[in-house]
A and B are shown apart, each in its own frame.
Chain A
Amino acid sequence: MTTPTRRQHTLEVLVENEPGVLARVAGLFARRMYNIDSLNVGPTQDPTISKMIIVVGVEGHSLEQVIAQLDKLISVISINEILADTKATDHGVTPDYQN
């Protein structure tokens, strides 16, 4: 039996340090069914900017789509991928559903 490999990506996300910014990011991941493996928030040298380190498990979604949706949040200033699990394989799954 093999366990499906999930590709993990670590994103360094600079955000405006303002109330509600964590809810914006967490809510986006929840409503678009993206998996957060871990999320840390900390200060930067600029008190108006916070840094989030988000480890995201990409399954059924492309990393590009996760980043593009995250980038639409006005409070998100920049997104950089800092580590990639190169051993895992990419799962290109196209959404198919009916409603």
Chain B
Amino acid sequence: MTHVPTANGTKMTGATSLVKSLEAAGVDVMFGIPGGAILPAYDPIFDSTIRHILVRHEQGAGHAATGYAQVTGRAGVCIATSGPGATNLVTPLMDAAMDSVPLVAITGQVPTAAIGTDAFQEADIRGITMPFTKHSYLVTDPADIPRAVAEAFHIANTGRPGPVLIDIAKDALQKETTFNWSETIKLAGYKPQIAPNQSAIDDAAALIAQSAKPVFYIGGGVIKANAAPELCQLVELLGAPVVTTLMARGAFPDSHPLHMGMPGMHGTVAAVTSLQKADLLITLGARFDDRVTGKLSTFAVNSKVIHADIDPAEIGKNRHADVGIIGDVRETIKALIPALKIALAKQRADLTPWLNSINNLKSTYSLGFDIPEDGSLSPQLVIQRIGQISGTDTIFTSGVGQHQMWASQFISYEKPRTWLNSGGAGTMGYGVPAAMGAKVGAPEATVWAIDGDGCFQMTNQELVTCALNNIPIKVAIINNESLGMVRQWQTLFYEGRYSNTSLDSKRIPNFPMLAEAMGCVGLACDNPADLDKTIEMAMSINDQPVVVDFRVHKDAMVWPMVAAGTSNDDIMIARATAPDWDSQEL
């Protein structure tokens, strides 16, 4: 994407050098808000080929950049001023770090002479973000700007992707410098391993061929590495069951007969149990998160582990790996396919009994939900119908909570990069700005934000940005007038004492009017008879953002559930209801 600019060697300000560097790095869009310290950069931005989208809050800029990156696979860019502008990026940076999203954040800083004096709008943003940036820069010399930008994009996009911050002192933007962009990156301390070690591949292949109960445990790294087609080949070569984590939904088609669904706290019985009872976990680009493993000491106790990841620190971090493979997971899968063919030619376990028992669980405990007897709208049905009506090319984003889990369960994902959510960080309010960024990155696609009424009220201001900038996203507010997931925990673990989880969002705000006030089309639906035609109405509007207030039953709960801190063996399919294990042979 990058090219050597013709401006090399010419005199310009640091600000112009920044914009020329961003252009040279291949940036086509960025999300941001100007302010005092970053203001010099906004003058050359005015003349740049880069599309700058003026957001309404810096958090919106950060999540939009993340949505853009998740859809395109290229680093998203956000830009803010010093102090509160920069601290408003803290949540998106943490979010991007937890979900390994390539992001470059540019912040203005007070002039060099004022740093450390508690100057107006001074914040040590590099210090604040150090725990969750992959790397960060404080630039005080304009000559350093092109190198910092080039390195930042290289670091963000390669290895395990992640967010990089460039904090630039105002005087460095104002001073004259000689522009010098170079593609050559010299980072002595950064050499991500891409190609896997062949002996580890051979060990893994031998282990797989011996295994009678293997499971593919697929994480978001498979999507990051664009490895979905290769994964499909590997899975079909072995014929073993597959589970895809919350970050990996879409990495393997939901419609594939070997797909057992999502594992974890709200995973399917088949997915959770297949991990628990496996004799081998073939772990590709996943990280044994506590939401997947449940109580770690009881997780898959009889299983060996193959763990392939680009980040060496993930191997053995939470779970011992019998075979660790460091490298790009696409390269790893490509190497594993021929090695496994050789291993399977020597020895091939019969997987039929294993597959039969897992398939039995899949059919017995398929995901479902009760339709409310009072005729009110079921939140799961709303989400399921949106998925069915809008089709598998649609990009979905979500906030965090019940609606997020239902969107991961009841929408069928067939393709990578069609499901964007805040998995590791659990950032409420991710949905709307991420949808905005996704739509900018994939303007031809239909983009639906499946949001909650709580989440929506955290970041809906970006609908103004969408309306003014021709970014026609669609938002489904799953309005259960409460902080639903917290309320669910109160129902289950706090004796139904609903402390501060009622939002009264069926009374206030009036979501359709709020949407109209922000330049969107506002719709509402509160009964099943109107559901399909409301969704179809929203689908028919493509020149404006659409917000639909789906007023749903508030007592619906997310099942299955493995309660926090408990074992995956204690999965519940409904309140106080465990699967009938006696009838299963595993």
Contact = CB atoms under 8 A, between A and B. Distances in A.
Nearest to A69: B313
A85 interface: no
Q: Is the interface of A mostly helix, strand, loop or mixed?
A: mixed
A26 to B, nearest CB: 10
Contact of A74 (B127, B187, B313, B317): B187
B188 interface: yes
B297 A71 contact: no
Interface residues of A, number: 27
A74 B290 contact: no
A23 interface: yes
Given A20-B126, A74-B134, A99 B317 contact: no
B160 to A, nearest CB: 8
Contacts, number: 58
Contact of B190 (A20, A69, A74, A94): A74
Interface in B308-365: 311-313, 315-318
A68 B312 CA distance: 6
B57 interface: no
A76 B296 contact: no
Interface in A1-46: 15-16, 19-20, 23-24, 27, 31
Interface string A50-79: 000000000000101100110111111110
Contacts of B188: 16, 77
B316 A65 contact: yes
Contacts of A96: 295-297
Nearest to B294: A98
A62 B313 CA distance: 11
A24 B130 contact: yes
A64 B189 contact: no
A31 B127 CA distance: 13
**From A20, A23, A31, A99, residue with most partner B Cβ within 10 Å:** A20
B155 interface: yes
A52 to B, nearest CB: 13
A68 B313 contact: yes
21 contacts: A16-B188, A16-B189, A19-B138, A20-B127, A20-B130, A20-B138, A27-B131, A65-B313, A65-B316, A68-B313, A68-B315, A69-B313, A74-B134, A74-B135, A74-B189, A76-B189, A94-B297, A95-B296, A96-B296, A98-B564, A99-B564
Which 9 A-B pairs rank lowest in CB-CB distance, beginning with the nearest?
A: A98-B565, A68-B313, A74-B135, A77-B189, A77-B188, A74-B190, A68-B312, A76-B189, A69-B313
Nearest to B293: A96
Given A72-B311, A74-B134, A96-B295, 19 more contacts: A15-B189, A16-B189, A19-B138, A20-B130, A23-B130, A62-B316, A65-B316, A68-B312, A68-B315, A68-B317, A72-B313, A74-B155, A74-B189, A77-B189, A94-B297, A95-B318, A96-B296, A97-B290, A98-B564
Interface in B177-200: 187-190
Contacts of A69: 313
Nearest to B192: A72
Contacts of A19: 138
Contacts of B313: 65, 68-69, 71-72
A31 B131 contact: yes
Interface string B119-145: 000000011001100111010000000
